[in-house]
Amino acid sequence: MNVIISKAKSLFTGRTKPRTAGYYGLIILLSGLFAVTATAQTIVRDASSLEWKLSGYRPNVWRMNFNFESLTGNQAEMPDIPATVPGSVQTALKNAGLLPDWNTGLHHYEVEWTENRHWIFSAKIPDDWLSAGRENITLQCDGLDHKGLLMVNGKEAGRFDNAFIPYSFRIDRFLKDGNNTIAFVFDSPPEDLNQIGWTSRITDWKPRFYYGWDWIPRLVQIGVWDKVHFITDSGQHALIKETALTTGASALADKGSLDVRLTFDRLPVTGRVKISLTGNGKTVREETHDAYALTNGLSWKDLKIDRWQPNGVGDQPLYALQLTLTDNTGKEIQQILRRVGFRHIDWRPCEGASPGADPWICAVNNRPIFLQGVNWTPIRPYFADLKEEDYRIRLALYKELGINVIRIWGGGFAEKDWLYDLCDEMGILIWQEFPLSSSGLDNYPPEGTPEIYAMTQIVHHYVTRLRHHASLLLWCGGNELYERGDTAPITGKHPLIGEIQRNVRMLDPGRRFVPGSPSGPNIYASYDNYGSGNNWDVHGPWSLPFRDEKQNMDDVRDFWTKDDALIHSEVGVSGAMSAEMIVKYAGTFPPLPANLDNPIWRTVNWWIDWDSYLSAHDGLAPASVENYVEWSQRRQTEGLCIALERCKNRFPRCGGFIIWMGHDSFPCFINTSLIDFEGNPKPAALEISKIWKDNSYLKNK
């Protein structure tokens, strides 16, 4: 087999981890990833085509038993299981009949033991992948979740310990003339990163949501969550390792700008780079420059382009930017491809806001818009197994419903490239958070030197990877990060948040950064602080703001009529999923009662509203699960529609309303989601869509 990938991500990186005693192999932190075509100098091979096997051991037993030549071990508890890369341990086990469907009944408890093992993904490397005369061979790993070793022919070739950054391992020194093997050995994950704990004590860099949140039980992924490639490079020429790319547009006309600055992997930098921008079947501009000159940057102005518009406002024209590096004889060395859009974004004060308040009116191409959408959580806990179609189906539904923004929540991760590409195509703006979140007992970010260093690596990767996307709206430090004692949202005065802010401003100076969500003086807006001028970006409420047990919807209307927040970046109302879905995923358990006496409702019990149902029905239980669901979904629909409509009607006094949350990652019987586990809109989503699609507010704005 001799596979050459025509469009794969570059291996080249910007940071090298120092070697320590007993630490074999060079590990380079990937940053500024981009598409690169194979050339005479560089060959890229996709590791997903290899025949991968999975083996499971009690911790460290593999060190005495696993044979890295034959890729077998007779003491493995789970030997020779077919696996995929990318892919999760859990899905490989489920496909092999060794795990139940964790989405049904209480089977999710039967998965937790997988965290207490070491897991080995292994494969043989085809001999013809290691061409003679190529000295530089690198294994590029875009996502490893989250800690372990890379073994090449049974020797440690590198280590990894962060799910949020990619790694590149130089492996040529460990290779033989033939019969080479590769293996990823995953340690047991950290025990406790769940919703309730202490944010200040977070020292492990792994997504937190799947440790158990108010909308998902504990389903902790282990595995290779993104692409892996073998890269061979002749090492004869300096190559581009990072592109700093910025597009802009006139606020008033179809005129664009493009700034490009290149960083190379070595000196001397020779040769030339052709830069070509094309769109609508035409070349917008094309120039060739000395490669070294581009380390100082290039700027194109007054480009004749069509501007990119958010969903519901206009079209989303995208352009192909191609960088072709050649040597001094004109021989092609490297080709980089990006897809870009041109738009102008500025932030304006909300009408009537207090002096000094943060600006929360987003103007795109000089048109102020109301930011309306959902908080995005990962589609599945084992996101390693997702495909592009999973993202396309979900985002296409959101687009059709009428949203123009998603907030990628800090308890998840920087999503796979598919999401950002699709948001570019569909006009969905992205509020991107870094992987920090609240913990309930303490919501104060860590401030130790190791944690700040780790976050700096994450920020560098996130920003250099994503900054070219037209859909990227702003950067945010994380979710519900507060001063000690939860007295107010965190600010840039915090050491870690301040370091994030400094790095964002250096790497992506034209993009907005906010320290956290919420931000400003107040965490919540309420009757107690209406009129204070301090409700800027706030969270909540997530339930109907009734004043007493009568559950009068007039209370809800009164609350939202008096609301004066400049933006609600998280707000919701719970509603049950369909009766059919409840029966399906309850398994052998009865669907009612919908309270803690029923084990199937105890699984994820944050949003249970059984007592409210009984109060509203004079203590009488529902005759059927259908009766209960109809009542619950009607409440969610009415409550959310009141809230969204009143906030949108306040525009430009209010700049946005982002619903918590968009979709279920697990079949949660009752939750604040708008779309259920199987991708079906709840009734609330269909009614809210009518308000989202109403653009009458744009008239004369």
Percent of the chain with pLDDT over 70: 93
Q: What is the pLDDT of residue 132?
A: 54
Q: What is the pLDDT of residue 634?
A: 98
pLDDT for 2 beyond 80: no
3-state secondary structure of 537: strand
Burial 192-218 (b: 16+ CB within 10 A, else e): ebbbebebbebebbbbbbbbbbbbbbe
Q: What is the pLDDT of residue 198?
A: 97
Identify the H or E element spanning 82.
strand 78-83
**If you search the block for the tokens 């997702």, which residue do you land on?**
386
- The string of DSSP codes covering 547-579 is SSTT--HHHHHHHHHH---SEEEEE---EE--H
Domain with residues 8-233, CATH architecture: Sandwich (2.60)
For 25-40, write each residue's pLDDT tens digit.
333 333 333 444 445 5
* Cis bond upstream, residue 189 (ω within 30): no
Q: What is the pLDDT of residue 122?
A: 98
For 649-697, write each residue's pLDDT tens digit.
999 999 999 999 999 999 999 999 999 999 999 999 999 999 999 998 8
Q: Where are the alpha helices (DSSP H) in 300-384?
A: none
Compute the distance between CA of residue 437 and CA of residue 214 in angstroms, rounded to an integer: 13
- Please give the average per-residue pLDDT across 340-358, as a whole number: 97
For 89-128, write each residue's pLDDT tens digit.
999 999 999 999 999 999 999 999 999 999 999 999 999 8
Superfamily name with CATH number, domain 369-698: Glycosidases (3.20.20.80)
pLDDT for 197 beyond 90: yes
Percent of the chain with pLDDT over 90: 88
Compute the distance between CA of residue 241 and CA of residue 238 in angstroms, rounded to an integer: 9
For 452-468, write each residue's pLDDT tens digit.
999 999 999 999 999 99
Identify the H or E element spanning 28.
strand 26-30
What residue spans define the domains of the chain? 8-233, 240-340, 369-698
CATH of 240-340, one of 2.60.40.10, 3.40.718.10, 3.30.1490.20, 3.40.50.720: 2.60.40.10
pTM: 0.93
